[in-house]
Amino acid sequence: MTGFLIGIDYDDPIVKYRGDRILYTLKKISGKDSNIDPDFLVDTYYVHYLPLPILKSKSEISQVDAIKYALLDMTLSSDLVLKNRNYSIANSAVSMALSVSYIQNLIEELERIRRTSQSAEEREAAEQILNGLMKGSQGKEGGEQKEQQGQTTDATKKLLKQVHEKALSKAAEDANAVRSMQRIVGGNGAGTGSVLNFEGDVHEVLRLARNTEIKKILEFLSGIPKLGSLTKKKTTRYSKGELYGYEEGSDLERIVPSELAMPEDLFYVRLAESQLLLYQKQIKESLGPIYLLLDKSGSMDGEKILWAKAVALALYSRARRENRDFYLRFFDNIPYPLIKVIKNAKSKDVIKMIEYIGKIRGGGGTDISRSVISACEDIKEGHVKGVSEVIILTDGEDKIAETTVRRSLKDANATLISVMIRGDNADLRRISDTYLVVYKLDQNDLLKVVEA
């Protein structure tokens, strides 16, 4: 077999890499080697990646390849694939996720049927399909056996369609999670700086996407169209910056050329009276890192902490789009280790952070004072650089050591932004520079916090 798609050079190193990458990822996920035909793996990738994949004529396909050809033909004609194509075209990470998840679920379902089905005919059909997917399309030796293997019965065709649709549906769920993760970390949009591509870590991303906690957070965030465009800009006027308007003045470096055409006497009068037409110019200032303290105490367990985790990922999304470092520290009665994700972090670092967020569960007491003081110590001791604002997400069930916390914030030259989750704390309100209260814990509340 050399593959079934027209226009694909199956000897091209990049094309071969796709097949090898899918095999590698399948092994990392399942924990075992696979003998799936590598050209078939390449085809499963490119039916999603290419804008208009075209199958070879059925008359060109040998009987022993009928099963692989039938699966690709069903994939291309699937409404689900056509819908997914809106975001899988030229998106290597999503196309890889679709391919890997589809093959994994297809093989696992066939092996389950072969092992547990009470119907001998169904077990034989599953065996035939599995053999038809293997490298060389033969699970047994001998030309006659190979030819018999290629001849599909009605039972085989029925089972083929059944397992194909089930595997494709699960693959679409996984790919949606990968796409959401890309969107959250700013990896698939224009103007986001460096593009974060998960293709090399698809096995880790798929594992995360199947985590129940992470899946809930991603589903919640995927329903916020505005999230992908949230940015905050800080500018300052500068004579050699970018043009953004006009004004009157006497700065000759910014003079509009048409002003030079007026009579000399009039020009000097306007210069003396600061009435020359000038360009307004500005430059963008870099924003400092985002430092987030997130309460994981027992009173936060359940909906509160799930919403707070979604806020954490949304804030990271904004930090990445604004080219800012991101720092996160969970706390209950003690502060937990500081998580650092720098502005140009690799995908592995981002995945590690998301995995850590998914693992955290609510429990323990609450010590808000200690957590804020620990953030201030991080700033003063240089563990974090450039931080001027500390954000805390909590339900506020604690007594604050006001004097000590005020002193720590002053020594660190930091301001405090408090977000109260269905709670209120008079002490925290007094020492906070910004104090927000949220009750609904819906997407609007999340946007209110992220935009603040």
The residue-averaged pLDDT of 348-356 equals 91
Identify whether the C-beta of residue 93 lies closer than 8 Å to the C-beta of residue 205: yes
- Give the global pTM: 0.79
The whole-angstrom separation of Cα 335 and Cα 371 is 5
Checking if the pLDDT of 401 tops 90, the result is: yes
CA nearest neighbour of 199 among 215, 185, 182: 182
Q: What is the pLDDT of residue 232?
A: 62
**328: phi then psi, degrees, rounded to nearest 5:** -135, 135
Q: Where does residue 143 rank: exposed (0-12), middle (13-18), buried (19+ CB within 10 A)?
A: exposed
Other Cβ atoms within 10 Å of 156 Cβ, number: 22
CA nearest neighbour of 271 among 254, 245, 249, 256: 249
pLDDT tens per residue, range 8-53: 999 999 999 999 999 999 999 888 888 899 999 999 999 999 999 9
Q: What is the pLDDT of residue 141?
A: 43
The residue-averaged pLDDT of 317-344 equals 92
Who's near 311: CB < 8 A, 6+ residues apart?
393, 419, 446, 449, 450
244, 246, 249, 252: CA torsion to nearest 10: 70
Q: What is the pLDDT of residue 240?
A: 66
pLDDT tens per residue, range 175-189: 988 888 887 776 444
Q: What CATH number was assigned to the domain covering residues 290-451?
A: 3.40.50.410
Checking if the pLDDT of 193 tops 50, the result is: no
The whole-angstrom separation of Cα 185 and Cα 198 is 11
Q: Report, in angstroms and rounded to the nearest whole number, the Rg of the chain calculated over CA atoms.
A: 29
Identify whether the C-beta of residue 329 lies closer than 8 Å to the C-beta of residue 374: yes
What is the location of CATH 3.40.50.410 in the chain? 290-451
Name 285's bridge partners: 234
Checking if the pLDDT of 452 tops 90, the result is: no
CA nearest neighbour of 378 among 418, 407, 415, 338: 338
pLDDT tens per residue, range 104-125: 999 999 999 999 999 999 999 9
The whole-angstrom separation of Cα 253 and Cα 55 is 63
Checking if the pLDDT of 148 tops 70, the result is: no
